[in-house]
Amino acid sequence: MNNIIPTPDSLPDANPAQADFNQLPLSPAMLSNLQQLEYLTMTPIQAASLPITLAGHDLIAQAKTGSGKTAAYALTLLNNLNPRHFAVQALVLCPTRELAEQVTQEIRRLARFADNIKILALCGGTPLRPQAASLDHGVHVVVGTPGRLMDHLSRHTLQLDALHTLVLDEADRMLDMGFYDDIASVARQCPTGRQTLLFSATYPSGIARLAQQFLRNPQEVKLLEQH
Ligand code: ADP
Ligand code: MG
């Protein structure tokens, strides 16, 4: 006789408020670091996007400020990373120096599960030469503003041939600031097999154009009402 009582497996997905990082295919070291940081449950944008990005898909994610977008892409790029290979494997583009520095701090905290992951901020307002020297010593993750990244690319002090993950953070703000051409130029210098993640609080037409040019079959996640 068929069992007509629904089993837990046949019920809809768990309440996203209870979404636990342990559900994700992350290493035990990464999970234990998240626990130490008191990241106990995923925010809605993390719960919606991490299963997609950890499976290797490109992503367009729209969610408001303060929703935890940084960790959503940081966990993905760290998961793609080989700490034993000292080459730039992930690049995050941010609109301003202040944001790039905040993102750098957040990725450093999330990267504490491993001993030796180097994360460097590359922004204007600081001399190029010490930045070039830091790059020369071996860096895994670069977080920067488009103008300064272009400076390093044109001087060949930044190499992107080992890149696995490209992140466009606050893409709408970068477009407002007139960075379309710089973003396009950086993206064209990244390997074609990379994973590309685009985060934005709003969805102006330039974002669709950017996505069409530089993302491959992206999945879309939009959380307009979420905090
Ligand atoms: P956004 O980029 O969407 O504006 P942030 O990535 O800056 O948001 O995150 C906002 C704040 O939430 C940060 O202080 C971050 O450390 C914190 N945070 C992010 N995810 C979690 C989580 N799962 N649990 C607890 N705090 C979190
Ligand atoms: Mg952010």
User: What CATH number is attached to the domain comprising 98?
Assistant: 3.40.50.300
Percent of the chain with pLDDT over 90: 87
Which atom belonging to ligand 1 lies closest to the Cα atom of 109?
16
- The gap between the terminal CA atoms of the chain, to the nearest Å, is 46
Name the residue of 39, 42, 199 whose CB sits within 8 Å of the most ligand 1 atoms, as the mutation to test its pocket. 39
* d(C-alpha 10, C-alpha 168), whole Å: 37
Tell me whether residue 35 is in a domain.
no
The predicted structure's pLDDT at residue 115: 87
For residue 62, tell me if it sits in a domain.
Answer: yes
Residue 57: inside a domain, yes or no? Answer: yes
| 10 occurs within a structural domain | no
> Tens digit of pLDDT for each residue in 138-164?
999 999 999 999 999 999 999 999 999
Instruction: Write down the pTM of the prediction.
Output: 0.92
Q: Would 183 be classed as within a structural domain?
A: yes
Percent of the chain having pLDDT more than 70?
Answer: 91
Q: Tell me the per-residue pLDDT of 157-181, one tens digit each, with 9 for 90 and over.
A: 999 999 999 999 999 999 999 999 9
**pLDDT for the residue 15:** 52
pLDDT of residue 6: 38
Kindly report the average pLDDT of the chain as a whole number.
92
Q: How many angstroms separate the alpha carbon of residue 42 from the centre of ligand 1?
A: 10
Is 60 exceeded by the pLDDT of residue 16? no
Please tell me the distance from the alpha carbon of residue 128 to that of residue 211, in angstroms, as a whole number. Answer: 30
Q: Is 181 inside a domain boundary?
A: yes
- Taking every pair of Cα atoms in the chain, the longest distance, rounded to a whole number of angstroms, is 76
Q: Which ligand is nearest to the CA of 227?
A: 1
Query: What's the structural domain count of the chain?
Result: 1
64 CA closest ligand 1 atom index = 3
In a domain, 25, yes or no: no
For ligand 1, atom 15, which residue shows the shortest CA distance? 68
**The pLDDT of residue 114 is above 70:** yes
Residue 135 has pLDDT above 80, yes or no: yes
* Residue 14, pLDDT score: 43
Confidence of residue 17 (pLDDT cuts 50, 70, 90): low
Tell me what pLDDT residue 176 has. 97
Is position 151 within any domain? yes
DSSP-derived secondary structure for 144-182: E-HHHHHHHHHTT-S--TT--EEEETTHHHHHHTT-HHH
ipTM computed for the complex:
0.99
Q: Which domain holds residue 145?
A: 44-223
